Amino acid sequence: MATTTDPDTGPSTDADANAGDPTAEFRKNQSWLFDTTAGTYLRKIVVGFVSTVSLLYLLFPLYWMVVTALKSTQEIQQIPPTVFPENPSLEGFRLVIESSLETGGYAGVVENVFGVTISSAINVDVIGIILNSLKVSIGAGVIAVVLGTIASYVLSRREFRGKNALMSVLLASLMFPGTAIMVPEWELINTLDLYDTHLSLILIYGAMTSPFVVWLMKGFFDEFPDSIIEASRIDQCSSVETFWYVIVPMARNSLIASFIFAFLLAWNELVFALTLLDNQNYTVPPGLLTFVQGFNTQWNVVAAASIIVSLPVLLGLAYIQRYFVQGLTGGAIKG
């Protein structure tokens, strides 16, 4: 360490000279941010701040939906809006349930059993649109997983001319917006006499998500141990038996992840459902849109209906989320 002598104060060191310089430690140690206590605290503060802001940004819409569902119509129209409900009310949920019971034809049953008269000015069957969405989403997910898994296994385990070009076409198909093929899809559905049927949406959604399933499952099959396939052949298993009884059970997590992706796309899709279905067969997105009535919209009812239709998906995903995470990383297995 260098030492200097001052005629008035006597000898001094570089540490004494830099004692009042807050940047001295950083200039001396370029990895100050990672190798010092102060740098560690700074990193934690920055990461914590960014994480908190990101979390608030993501969760605030959900919070606002719940708060809106608990407000009365008068409180929703207040300016400035209230962050917390002043007088929490379940009016929105009551209106949604009454609308579902009356539109679904259950009002008479409720009146006979419970002696409660059901009358609603809203003509939307929330239970019905949930069942419609479940039917369409499950059907699309099954089609996408079945077709995508078979195609990905062939693309992974077989060599043929045009294989790379086919994979490129499948990848490029994911980049096109669905609305770009709306007109030909409309003509095809009309030609097949499938307008206003859930089967039309099942076929369209299944076709739209199959390329993603192919790419996801191909990553799993590419890393699948050859020794397991060879062992099944030694046991006199055919290619079909090896695929069905050996590979498919081991690909369970990836299959579940693929199904969830296809299910969520079909559950949330609006444009095709709004174009190809009439009111009685609406799924969740266009069904919720019927609650919006310009300046007369009851936003607490819209928020309450949104919460109700989200519950089946949230409960299902909460149960199988671990399979989803494991399935997305399924291509990382090693033989």
Q: For residue 332, what pLDDT is reported?
A: 45
- Report, as ranges of residue numbers, the positions in the chain whose pLDDT lies below 70: 1-35, 106-107, 110-111, 115-121, 294-295, 321-335
- Residue 308 C-beta-side C-alpha neighbours within 13 Å: 26
pLDDT tens for 234-273 read 888 888 888 888 888 888 888 888 888 889 889 999 889 9
Q: Can you give the residue ranges of every domain in the chain?
A: 19-50, 126-332
- The residue among 244, 239, 217, 210 whose CA lies nearest residue 152 is 217
In angstroms, the CA 131 to CA 149 distance is 27
Looking at residue 294, what is its pLDDT? 67
* pLDDT the model gives residue 329: 55
Q: Which amino acid is at 184?
A: P
Report the candidate in 318, 220, 206 with the shortest Cα–Cα distance to residue 259.
206
Q: How far is CA 11 from CA 8, 148, 315, in A?
A: 9, 79, 73
- CB within 8 Å of 68: residues ≥ 6 apart: 76, 92, 299, 300, 302, 303
Cis amide bond preceding 211, omega within 30: no
List 13's β-bridge partners, or say none: 3
At 186-205, the pLDDT tens digits run 888 989 899 989 999 999 99
CA dihedral 78, 80, 81, 85 (to 10 degrees): -80
Rounded CA-CA distance 333/335 in Å is 7
Rounded CA separation 41/34 (Å): 10
* Beta strand ranges found along 30-143 (DSSP E): none
Fold of 126-332: MetI-like fold (1.10.3720)
**pLDDT at residue 127, as a whole number:** 85
